[in-house]
Amino acid sequence: QVQLVESGGGWVQPGGSLTLSCLGSGINLDHYAIGWYRQAPGKERDAVSCIVGDDYTIYYADSVRGRFVISRDNAKNTVFLQMNNLKPEDTAVYYCATGYCSSTNVHGTTPDLDYWGQGTQVTVSS
């Protein structure tokens, strides 16, 4: 059974940092382009970052570029999202997913083919 499991979310004050993890089970994440998405209440789910499986090409949404860093540890079958200088508008449920990286939309998925995690809540407030 394939599973993506996110962890590392929580509450942090503005300006703080969190590192999210996406652990693959039953799947080799290094064979996939992995994207991080977020969805705030009442808003659409948007891709914020993507890392390609083979050549480590990386994309970021404009809203997080310079603050977030995506990386992967193939030995741990895990993709990370380090989030720095967090802002209240970063508050959302964060998801990881398999799919494809895109220079225009950061990441995309194909219904019924790609996998999603269950999400982890990130709350940025004072």
Question: For residue 71, is pLDDT > 90?
Answer: yes
pLDDT at 87 over 80: yes
Kind of pairing between the strands at 120-124 and 10-12? parallel
Q: Is the pLDDT score of 81 beyond 90?
A: yes
Q: What is the mean pLDDT of residues 95-114?
A: 91
CB atoms within 10 A of CB 60: 18
**In this model, does residue 75 exceed pLDDT 90?**
yes
d(CA 14, CA 86): 5
Going by the DSSP 8-state scheme, the letter that residue 8 receives in this structure is -
Q: What percent of the chain has pLDDT over 70?
A: 99
**Residue 85: pLDDT above 90?**
yes
- Could you give the 3-state DSSP secondary structure of residue 89? helix
Beta-carbon count within 10 A of 62 CB: 8
Give the residue from 36, 59, 63 showing the smallest Cα distance to 47. 36
* pLDDT of 25 over the 90 cut: yes
- DSSP codes of every residue in 27-88: S-GGGSEEEEEEE-TTS--EEEEEE-TTT--EEE-TTTTTTEEEEEEGGGTEEEEEE-S--G
18-36 average pLDDT score? 96
Mean pLDDT of 54-82: 94
pLDDT reported for residue 113:
86
Write down the pLDDT at residue 54: 73
